[in-house]
């Protein structure tokens, strides 16, 4: 009986107070609490997920979470996502600080410019139309970014000699750069590349070539 009264008391709390309480609970406690009633399952659900890794078709998963966007998500990984799901992911991303995007639809990188607390970004096996598109993405990286890993970035057309971003403002100052291919590094070292690597080699750069 006391347990039932406790659950009823939680359900009667003002929504703002209940949300504040849930934000302070750890995941095991949230999972246990979500089993108490359908109401608590619904309100606990957005607080349980911290990381989501999507591989291949993800439409069903995203549809299942509509209206219940995770509020404490900090990591997102996308691998071989062929559709553009960036708009669907936006409601999840207020607190995301780590992103991994590998292969799939390059348009999903559009979400990156909206991540105001992004610290760690990895891009691998992505094909941009031209270098300018890649540099446009790099120019919009948030100033919070500290680590950048790029592997196997390719371009459908080569406009490497155009100096396409020579007049664009400098973007994030990367402190840790990781890449395994000389081609990836050479693009980042271009004069018109919008990111700053001036601290990378002296702080914690782990650049290597294969």
Per-residue pLDDT of 178-198, as tens digits, reads: 988 888 988 988 888 898 876
Scored b (16 or more CB within 10 A) or e, 102-128 reads: bbbbbebbbbbeebeebbbbbbbebeb
User: What's the pLDDT at 91?
Assistant: 82
- Beta-carbon count within 10 A of 182 CB: 12
Q: What one-character-per-residue DSSP string does 176-198 give?
A: EEE-S-HHHHHHHTSTT-SSB-T
Q: Tens digit of pLDDT for each residue in 82-123?
A: 989 888 888 888 889 999 999 999 999 999 989 999 999 999
Q: Tens digit of pLDDT for each residue in 11-33?
A: 888 888 988 888 888 888 988 98
> Percent of the chain scored above 70 by pLDDT?
78
User: What's the pLDDT at 117?
Assistant: 94
Place of tokens 């155009």: 162
Averaged over 149-161, what is the pLDDT?
A: 83
Rounded distance, CA 133 to CA 39, Å?
46
CB 98 within 8 A of CB 119: yes
Going through 20-60 in order, the beta strands assigned E by DSSP cover 51-55
Confidence of residue 60 (pLDDT cuts 50, 70, 90): low
User: What's the pLDDT at 139?
Assistant: 92
Higher pLDDT, residue 57 or 15:
15
User: What's the pLDDT at 149?
Assistant: 94
Domain assignments of the chain as residue spans, ordered by start: 11-47, 50-60+69-156+170-196
Query: 117: closest CA among 79, 72, 179?
Result: 72
Residue 92 carries which DSSP code?
G
């Amino acid at each position: 009986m006391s347990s039932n009264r406790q659950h009823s008391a939680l359900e009667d709390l003002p929504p703002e107070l209940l949300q504040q309480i849930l934000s302070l609970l750890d995941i095991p406690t949230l999972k246990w609490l979500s089993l108490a009633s359908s109401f608590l399952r619904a309100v606990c659900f957005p607080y349980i997920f911290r990381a989501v890794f999507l591989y291949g078709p993800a439409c069903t998963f995203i549809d299942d979470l509509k209206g219940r966007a995770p509020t404490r998500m900090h990591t997102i990984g996308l691998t071989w996502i062929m559709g553009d799901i960036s708009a669907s992911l936006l409601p999840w991303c207020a607190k995301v600080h780590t992103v991994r995007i590998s292969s799939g639809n390059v348009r999903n990188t559009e979400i990156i410019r909206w991540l105001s607390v992004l610290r760690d970004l990895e891009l691998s096996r992505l094909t941009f139309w031209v270098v300018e598109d890649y540099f446009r993405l790099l120019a919009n990286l948030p100033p919070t970014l500290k680590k950048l890993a790029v592997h196997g970035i390719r371009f459908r057309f080569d406009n490497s000699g155009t100096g396409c971003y020579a007049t664009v403002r400098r973007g994030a100052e990367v402190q840790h750069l990781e890449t395994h291919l000389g081609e990836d590094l050479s693009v980042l070292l271009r004069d018109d590349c919008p990111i700053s690597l001036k601290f990378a080699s002296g702080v914690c750069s782990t650049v290597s070539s294969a």
